[in-house]
Amino acid sequence: MIRVCTVLDLPPGEAVRVVAHVPIAVFNADGELYAVDDTCTHQDASLADGWLEGCWVECPLHASSFDLRTGLPNGLPAKRPVRTYPVVVRDDVVYVDTAVQDVA
Ligand code: FES
């Protein structure tokens, strides 16, 4: 498990990037926490720098959006999903479980 930040440091609408085996972006989407690979599957862009809307994040470079629940892109230019990770909150601290990786 990777420690991300406290719950207070990740308010709704915000994202945090942490470095594990790969960079991981953790989002607070209207109170629900999600973690996905930070690097877009199209080119080298940070999804933590993208725009969050509901459960979707839009890549800041070419505007493919990824569903934070599944990692699936909504359309071109990204074709492949990003990996998703379970998020755990313990004692007001946010963790990402990098032992479990899902690819939709
Ligand atoms: S780098 Fe993300 S859509 Fe191109």
Average pLDDT, the chain: 95
Cβ atoms of residues 17 and 46 within 8 Å: yes
- Choose one of 61, 66, 72, 74 to mutate for the ligand 1 pocket test, by most ligand atoms within 8 angstroms of C-beta: 61
59 lines ligand 1 (CB under 6 A): yes
All domains of the chain, ordered by start, with CATH?
2-96 (2.102.10.10)
pLDDT at 60: 97
Cβ atoms within 10 Å, residue 37: 22
Read off the pLDDT band of 101 (50, 70, 90): low
pLDDT at 104: 61
| Ligand 1: centre distance to CA 2 (Å) | 26
Q: Which residue has the tokens 């930040």?
A: 5
61 lines ligand 1 (CB under 6 A): yes
| 2-16, 43-57, 87-101, range with the lowest pLDDT | 87-101
Cβ atoms of residues 26 and 87 within 8 Å: yes
Determine which residue's CA is closest to atom 4 belonging to ligand 1: 62
pLDDT at 99: 87
